[in-house]
Structure 1
Amino acid sequence: MNANAIVQKLWRLCAVLRKDGITYQQYVTELTYLLFLKMMAERQREEGNIPEAYRWDALVKAEPMQKLRVYREALTKLGDPEGSLPRMVQAIFDNASTFIREPQNLTTLITAIDDLDWFSDERDQFGDLYEGLLQKNAEETKRGAGQYFTPRVLIDVLVRLMQPKPGEVIQDPAAGTGGFLIASDRYMRARTDDYFTLGEKEQKFQKHQAFHGMENVPGTLRLLLMNLYLHDLDSDNVDLGDTLSEKGKRLGKADLILTNPPFGPAGGAPTRDDLTVTASVSSYQLPFVEHCIRSLKVGGRAAIVVPDNVLFEDGRGKALRQMMMDWCDLHTILRLPTGIFYAQGVKTNVIFLTKGKADTGNTDEVWVYDLRAQMPKFGKTNQLTDDHFKDFVGAFGADPYGAERGEDQGEEGRWRCFTREEIAARGDNLDISWLREAEDEAEEGLSEPEDIAAAILGHLQAAMLEIEALSAVLEDGAPEAAE
């Protein structure tokens, strides 16, 4: 049975647990615990990390009325920080508890998982299976899931454009469930015969040092660690913490940053002493961009998903854009379609930049691709696909640093070039559009209630961001120059 078929079968079991009052996300968390134990049993060489009383076989053999008791005990013992189990096991089961109340529901789930044919002659499919479950959860709970799940198609496009290379440090400071890190690993494996063309030292680097990340939500970190483990990636450089706090400095310098930071109110300004331009900003998006700029090595590159207000906000926002264009070559902006990030509540873009050697004059021109205007409506019934990005990929070119450009398509096209002087004449406002927006018509065509509700929520949250930005400008006065 292939991974997609297993995902569909496991997802249908969610209907059983819904009767137990379990949400989709709780179901995925529950599956994380059970699939981890099952995976350890399938990979017999690793099951020694689990005490015999709490292994998968013990759960399967327990009497139906005892299964829930054994399962609850296992969650407690495996997550005990005072225990002697490996860090990864303790982290996955940290503060774990089950949402299942009915023993029969647990028996149904365990039996279904145990009956599946997990064997494959191909590379272990557990990773693909787990990612499939995360994607199903995102599709079913779009508003909440968007906090940590970036559409796979967008991740894959950005990874292909940025071309991660073995030996590079790759960072995601808002790692979520690890989509960017795993896609980067997959991209490099495909071009190095699963790393076998590398030397022993290079292989060790890829497994233990290449990938760095931080996630601030404990429940999401659990999913992240599971996802990394199933894809045979070491998690020693992935940690729980707030990137905008002093702990964020531990992420270190990176050759490549790929990230979709959280948007909206952060509940307070950053507590790091090095984020000087956005020191007083109490939302996530601006300080995260400053973190990325400062964390890149010279010559390092980044692709960052940002909401529109990063491109037009005055005050600290303008100071951040000036810093970005001075310190980096901000060579490309991709205006993303509406409907794919309603969960964050705002229109979004991807900014592509390369860190310069000096702290001034690195951006000569910015190329903008408008994939938002005059696009079809996107929602649950119309998913974004790789084909939608084909023209942008062609215009971007084969160079990850933006050195190869397709021809400027003029006012009737989607791909245009703007000089640094033209941008300065706009007050350094990078929210550049020239095609007639079709957003109103697109939203009029939405049919799914959840898409309509998400669109309304998006407008409300976007308005809140603008109000917060105006309030910050009024409170702070003129921004200080970037240091």
Structure 2
Amino acid sequence: MKASQYIDEIFGHPDIKHGLTVFNQPELQPLNLVSKIDISKREDGKIVIKCLKRQKELAAKPEEIVRQLFLAYVRDYLKYPLKQVTVEETIQMGSDDSKRADIVVFTDDTCTRKYIIFEIKKPDAETGVEQLQSYLNATGVHFGAWSNGKDITFQLREESPETKGEPYYYRDIPRLPKKGEALDDVLKPLTKKDLRPIQNLKDTIKRLEDTALANAGVNAFDELFKLFFAKLHDEFDPKKNDDSPMSFRVPKADPETVYERINGLFQEAKNRPGWQGIFDADEVLKLKDDALIYCAAALEPLRFHDADLDVIDAAFEYLINPEQKGAKGQYFTPRMVVDMAVKMIDPQVNEKVIDPACGSAGFLIHTIKYVRDAQGWTDNRDVYRYANDYIYAVDFDDKLKKVAKVMMLIAGDGKSNVFSVDSLDYRKWARSEAASRIGPFKRDIKDGDFDAVLTNPPFAGKITGKEQLSVFELYDLRQSGKLADDEDEADEDEKPKAKRNVNSMKRDILFIERCLRFLKPGGRMAIVLPQGNLNNIGTKALREWIMQKGRILAVVGLNVNTFKPFTGTKTSVVFLQKWGGIAGKPIDDYLIFMATSERSGKNNSGDYVNLADKEGHLIDREGKILDPLKEKPIVDSDLSEIVEAFQQFRDKEGIKFY
């Protein structure tokens, strides 16, 4: 059996926190480091690995395999001979000599002057980097690296410029020095091709919040977002090619010079054609001094352009205060739900799509990817044209508008169609750019010109005020007494209710009507709703009203864990097609596709659960064991099966979308 097969067996279990993706980075691929380690299975069935340094067999635990690969990395990539390397090196911490560094690189063959320290055993960045920094502090070593095999960070210990000693400061650096190199070589500007893929931006942000931002006196979201924006501007510079040096970097200079460089990029980004309006004209970077150096240095080696959007979205989801969003009933839609909705709506290349409560623009980004893949586009200009001509996003939250615009920049640059306005307030809508770009919002206008709507509107809160409500048909239904607004108003007695003096209505109910108005006749929509809207007796009139306006294509009940850890609200995704156009005239008798998700892809705590076989090995949907060096785990959700079943239902029923 090959070494790679033993590695698959060891790293294939979903509980393993170490990984191997670090060793598949472009600069390391030619070295094929996995082929440099000696791993085998003994007669007793135990898998062992031979230590490159100590030349003895060790139990092939995940962290040991990662360590052996880093020994090969030190020898073959950094070019340090193994005679200048030790493992399990004692680190004296005052009177405590129990600490052991996983790998230490020395400058000499007698191993007396420590030069680089590696921390590998700690699987998460927060505790791993903290442990590494304590070793650097105790030994006086300047260079260090923490990695769990999935992610990596390189650290530099710097002395106080005032004391030329303690207190020490730590910052990320783009890479470690190779044999014969010094700090000046390491701090040379990275080129575009040197930037490495983002593996876990969320953990990087957590680390920055706990260190640089903890006492910086600034809003973490606002300032980090400015840094993301400046870095994207640098990466999107049309004058740069793969060999061009990047401008977003932390040079060996005083804090004022670093601030001028990074804030200068931010000012350029704000004024870049097509990028205006995301930030105010007079906005400046408030993050300064060591906090700026630390944050900018952590982002410097990462490549945001063409990044894994799920990784970026997870970071933004963490960065936006979840309590603030929860109070508004707003929750980021899990990507397996987004993927299901997009595939069932099946958007086409010449169709206009909108999300009127876009959040981080997850539905629209997946729409762009769906159409891009269907068309086989490899030129980003095709994606750019499509996004700018056909993709539209709206959200009343200014922070989420910024997130959506930046996510659209990363996905393909459709940010010019992201609008900050309340989709349910016709007065604010009339005063916004959305009125001319998307279409007016008036009571007598029942049809829009969008082919598809995909959205997860906020559940919490009500719209108050008769003037604002008067534009909605459902307001009339509510006033008539036929439509109950809350479950406690439900009554099995179906006699007409007395007219009511109504001054408020729930947001999610009004969003149903608003979304239908965006659609052209024959257009279709997917909307996430609380199950009460469909199940409560008091909302029978709502169901009847919906069926007058369009055909209910499908109702997919989501598992209660789907939106955890933020909420355990029971939800469904409702799929509708507006009567008229290709949908034809209203009909009364038709089948509705009904499904209930039993595997949400999350456990009771809201942690993602990955697809695995009976032995615990991570697998793909065909049952093949994944290659941990190259393939990402797959979330164990049955929503992809529901998509396939719906597509068969649609074909059988002859339902046409276009």
Q: Per-residue deviation at 1:92?
A: 3.9
- Cα deviation 1:114-139 (Å, max 9, x = unaligned): 2x153xxxxxx525356423313536
Partner Cα distance (1:228, 1:396) in 2: 29
Task: Summarize the Cα distance change of 1:380–1:33 in structure 2 as closer, same or farther, 3 Å threshold.
Answer: same
Contact 1:11 1:133 (8 Å CA) reproduced: no
Inter-partner Cα distance in structure 1 for 2:472 and 2:585: 15
| Separation in 2, partners of 1:2, 1:106 | 22
Counterpart amino acid of residue 111 in structure 1: A
Kept in 2: contact 1:181–1:211 (CA 8 A): yes
Shift of the 195–314 alpha-carbon distance from structure 1 to 2, 3 Å rule, reads: farther
Counterpart for residue 42 of structure 1: 235
What is the CA-CA distance between 1:172 and the residue it aligns to?
A: 0.5
SS at the partner of 2:572? Answer: strand
Residues 410-447 of structure 1 show CA distances to partners (whole Å, capped at 9, x for unaligned) of xxxxxxxxxxxxxxxxxxxxxxxxxxxxxxxxxxxxxx
Q: Distance in 1 between matches of 2:253 and 2:593?
A: 62
Deviations 1:39-80 (A, max 9, x none): 222232279xxxxxxx9559757621464577678868976x
- Whether 2:605 is the aligned partner of 1:379: answer yes
Within 5 Å, give how 1:407-426 maps onto structure 2.
none
Q: Map residues 230-249 of structure 1 onto 2, 5 A cutoff.
A: 230-246=410-426, 247=429
- Give the structure 2 partner of residue 105 of structure 1: 291
Residue in 1 that maps onto 2:457: 261
TM-score (norm 1): 0.67
Contact 2:259 2:292 in 1 (8 A): yes
Letter in 2 for 1:329: R
Cα drift, residue 163 of structure 1: 1.4
Deviation at 1:161, TM superposition (A): 1.9
Mapped to 2, the partners of 1:18 and 1:203 lie a distance apart of 36
Q: Does 1:64 align with 2:251?
A: no
Distance in 2 (CA, whole Å) between partners of 1:187 and 1:216 is 26
In structure 1, distance between residues paired with 2:561 and 2:375: 36
Deviation at 1:260, TM superposition (A): 0.5
Flag structure 2 segments of 5+ consecutive residues without an equivalent: 1-195, 241-245, 440-447, 477-501, 611-634
Give the percent of matched residue pairs that are identical in Structure 1 and Structure 2. Answer: 21
1:368 aligns with 2:618: no
For residues 73 and 254 of structure 1, the distance between their equivalents in structure 2, rounded to whole angstroms, comes to 40
Q: Which residue matches 1:30?
A: 223
Q: Residue 460 of structure 1 corresponds to which residue in structure 2?
A: none
Distance 1:109 1:153, change over 3 A: same
- Structure 1 residue 277 and structure 2 residue 474: aligned? yes
Give the equivalent residue in structure 2 for 1:318: 540
One-letter code of the match for 1:213? A
Residue 164 in structure 1 maps to residue 347 in structure 2: yes
Aligned twin of 2:333: 150
Q: Are 2:315 and 1:136 aligned?
A: yes
More strand by share: 2
- The answer to whether residue 570 in structure 2 is matched with residue 347 in structure 1 is yes
The structure-2 alpha-carbon separation of the partners of 1:158 and 1:18, relative to structure 1 and needing over 3 Å to count, comes to same
State how far apart, in whole Å, the 2-side matches of 1:213 and 1:22 are: 32
Match of 2:647 in 1: 397
User: What displacement does 1:381 show?
Assistant: 3.2
Q: Are residue 329 (structure 1) and residue 551 (structure 2) matched? A: yes
**Structure of higher RCO (CA pairs closer than 8 Å, 6+ residues apart):** 1
Report how far residue 236 of structure 1 moved. 2.7
Gap change, CA 1:108 and 1:381, over 3 Å in 2: same
Tell me what 1:219 maps to.
399
Q: Report the alpha carbon displacement of residue 167 of structure 1 after superposing the two structures with TM.
A: 0.2
- After superposition, the C-alpha distances for 1:134-155 in whole angstroms (9 at most, x for unaligned) are 3135368655456252111111
Structure 1 stretches lacking a partner, 5+ long: 48-54, 119-124, 406-483
The answer to whether the Cα contact below 8 Å between 1:161 and 1:400 also exists between their aligned partners in 2 is no
The alignment's C-alpha RMSD in Å is 3.8
Change (3 A) 1:131 1:27: farther
After TM superposition, the structure 1 stretch with the greater mean CA deviation from structure 2, 218-227 or 4-13, is: 4-13
| Higher helix residue share | 1
Kept after mapping to 2: 8 A contact 1:275/1:290: yes
Given that 1:17 and 1:27 are in contact with CA atoms closer than 8 Å, whether structure 2 keeps it comes out as no
Size of the alignment, in residue pairs?
380
